[in-house]
Structures are given as C-alpha cells and as structure tokens.
Amino acid sequence: MAPPPYDAIILGAGAAGLMCAAVAGQRGRRVLLVDHAEAPGKKILISGGGRCNFTNIHTAPDRYLSANPHFAKSALGRYTAADFLALVERHRIAWHEKTLGQLFCDGSARQIVAMLMDECTAGHVDIALSSPVGEIGHDGTHFTVALPRRTVAAARLVIATGGPSIPKLGATGFAYDCARQFGLKVVEPRPALVPLTLGGDEALFRTLSGVAAEVTASAGKARFREAALFTHRGLSGPAILQVSSYWRPREPIAIDFTPDATSGWLLDAKRAQPRTTLRRTLAATLPDRLAEALADRIGLGELGATGDRKLEDAARQLSAWRFMPNGTEGFAKAEVTVGGISTADLSSQTLEARRVPGLHAIGEAVDVTGWLGGYNFQWAWASGWAAAQAV
C-alpha cells in the first residue's frame, strides 16, 4: 500500500488548528487541515468586536481554569504572548493595548485570519473546507478520516474542533465525541464567559437593563474588578462574564457596588451631610437608576436620622450584594466552554493522548479555559504550537 500522503490531519480550522497546521507545515510535515465550515477562523473574525483581542501580555497559568491547574504551564511557557506578538508584527499588523494587557488589532480581525492562512501557505498546508467529518478509524498506526468524497489517512490526528459555544457559528461537541471514541475522558462542559440570568425577587433588577457600573464581582474565591451590566435577562459585562466561569448553579455571586469605599464611608457621609439620603450618596459614584434601586431595597431614611449600626449594615450589604442567578444564557451566548477533554489523558508537552499515540487535542476542546481578555486565543496559539512540535 502507498504511504498516506499526509503526516498529520488536523480537524478544525479555528485558532488552534490554523496555528498547529502552519507550524507543523513549516517544520516539513505534510498537513491536511479540515473544517466543516466554508471559511476558516470564524470565531477569530467576530472576536473582540471585530478587532480580535488576540493575546494578553499578562498571560500566566493562574488565569486559566482546568481540573489540573498546572497543565497549561508547559505550552504557555514555550509559546508566549510575546511570540504571538512577534508574528503579528512580522506581518505588519498594527495593534494596540486596550486595557488590562489586552492586545487588539487596530484594523480588523480579518488580518489575523489572513496572517494564519499565509503561514499555512508557507507551510504548504492542504486545506479542505466545507468538509464535514464522517467516520474516524484507527488501525494502531494510522488514523483514517472519512470526508465527503474521499477517505484520508495519517499517523497523526489532531482534534482542534473547539467547544460547543455559539452553535450558530458552526461550533459542535464533535471534539468530545471523538475523544470518547478513543477512550479519553471529558470533563463536563459548561458555558463560560456567559451572562447570568436572574429570576424571583431579583428579576426586578432587570428593569435596570442597560445600566453599567464598575464593581468587584466574586464567585467563591474568584474576584474581578471590572464593569457589570444589568440586562433584560439578568447580569452581564466583563466582571460578570469573568465570574460566570467559576459560578456553579445554586451558588450566589457577590457584587461590591462600592469597591473604592473606605471603612466607615457611610458614617462619614452622615456626619458631613445628615440631611442627605443613601440614594444621593450612592449617586455620587453609581448611575442614578442603580443608586435608586439599591437604596430602595435597603430602605433607609435620611442618613442623619439613621443609627450608625444600620448604616454599617447597609455599607456591608452594598459591598457584598448577594445575587442568586437562576442560570446562564447558555452555549448560545457563551464566549467559551469550561471543561472538555480531560488533561489527565493528555501530555502537557505535546498534547498527545497518553494511551493513543498519534492522537492530539488542542485549543478550546481541551479542559483549559482562560479568563476574558485574550487568554483563550493565547491558549489556542500555545497549545497548537506545542502539538505542532510533536506531529
């Protein structure tokens, strides 16, 4: 039998698959990159409001969620944000830092996809788009992949089909089915970086839809100081998206609406202006409608007519306001997926399955999920690069 024309077949032409294909191709590997979509990198195109927040200069393993918090260290340490930035600069793509170390294109996310496609061309990568993947076989040495008009084979198969977030962009749970077929475990996938919904008494907060404030939001030990936004379904905004990755059903989240307040601030306000109200005091730092809603719920009169104990209780409540979300907006609105192919079954150096030589999994398909702010693309680049060294 003639040897297969490819050394590696990579399933999924998203961020991780494109990087892996380009680097492996440039290392002299014969690579086939397959995607069921008609165009590569669809999530890259819509990311960062069309400008792609392509990395974060503060990338560090502690900004990732995984059942094994050490797993991402190796890949992240060997292909860094600076490495990706060097690639971006080599392609003369103008960029800027927005906030919190987040790097964006000045122009368009299309430039990142074009860059990765150019890199694939430089690596002589064959790309099969509009190619739904059928049956996958393995005879112990080669993997076979049934495509619409042919079956292809290679000694290496890389699962890079991402997670199920945003199905309307072509996202599927294919990676998990494929992993299970080869006996790899899957950590329960959950929507992450996703708005939270409020019901019951808290549904009243939905009347604040459109109001935003800088807060500190926390779920368990995770705390994020960023903007929170009230929506017609509940809570969103960067602070909420961040805590959503840590949130578990039937657990509360806490919001500090007064993150800059010094101890005794409400007592100080009472001494300075006894005739003022909590609403007016809060409106100095919070949007009017939010100040009103919070003050109404706490229900105090003029500060001067309120006892110090009550004011201290109110200050405490405002600094740790408990919400009991009744759910999330689900995979339809989730930027990423927490969970995925278990890191316990993969090598952190090569992303190769421990018990299935030649099978690799990279990117969002794996149980490694970054914070909001460019961390997820950095994982996609780093894990794609790491696997490319081994295929």
The yes or no reply on residue 191 touching ligand FDA (CB under 6 A) is no
Tokens found for residue 78: 């060997």
Residue nearest to ligand FDA (CB): 14
The yes or no reply on residue 213 touching ligand FDA (CB under 6 A) is no
Which of 6, 7, 14, 255 touches ligand FDA (CB under 6 A)? 14
The Cα–Cα gap between 80 and 82 comes to: 5
Backbone angles phi, psi at 28, to 5 degrees: 95, 5
Tokens found for residue 55: 């990395």
Nearer to ligand FDA, 234 or 374 (CB): 374
3-state DSSP assignment of residue 323: strand
- The region of 66-74, 167-175, 264-272, 321-329 touching ligand FDA under the rule CB under 6 A is 167-175
Nearest-approach distance from CB 2 to ligand FDA, in angstroms? 26
The yes or no reply on residue 165 touching ligand FDA (CB under 6 A) is yes
Nearest-approach distance from CB 209 to ligand FDA, in angstroms? 20
Backbone angles phi, psi at 43, to 5 degrees: -70, -30
Backbone angles phi, psi at 160, to 5 degrees: -135, 35
The Cα–Cα gap between 173 and 209 comes to: 32
The Cα–Cα gap between 269 and 47 comes to: 44
- Per-residue binder mask for ligand FDA (CB under 6 A), 309-338, x = binder: --------------------------xx--
DSSP, residue by residue, 239-265: HHHHHHTT--TT--EEEES-TTPPTTH
The yes or no reply on residue 238 touching ligand FDA (CB under 6 A) is no
End-to-end CA distance of the chain: 22
Closest CA to 141 of 153, 130, 127: 153
Q: Please give the DSSP secondary-structure letter assigned to residue 352.
A: B
Nearest-approach distance from CB 55 to ligand FDA, in angstroms? 7
- Per-residue binder mask for ligand FDA (CB under 6 A), 31-60, x = binder: ----xxx----xx--xxx---xx-------
Nearer to ligand FDA, 11 or 386 (CB): 11
The yes or no reply on residue 21 touching ligand FDA (CB under 6 A) is no
Instruction: Please give the residues from 257 up to 296 whose contact with ligand FDA meets the rule CB under 6 A.
Output: none
The yes or no reply on residue 256 touching ligand FDA (CB under 6 A) is no
- Per-residue binder mask for ligand FDA (CB under 6 A), 114-133, x = binder: ------------------xx
The Cα–Cα gap between 241 and 254 comes to: 13
User: In sequence order, which residues have a C-beta less than 8 Å from that of residue 166 and are 6 or more positions away?
Assistant: 43, 331, 332, 333, 334, 335
| Interface with ligand FDA (CB under 6 A) | 11-17, 35-37, 42-43, 46-48, 52-53, 132-133, 160-162, 165-166, 170-172, 174, 335-336, 363-365, 374-377, 380
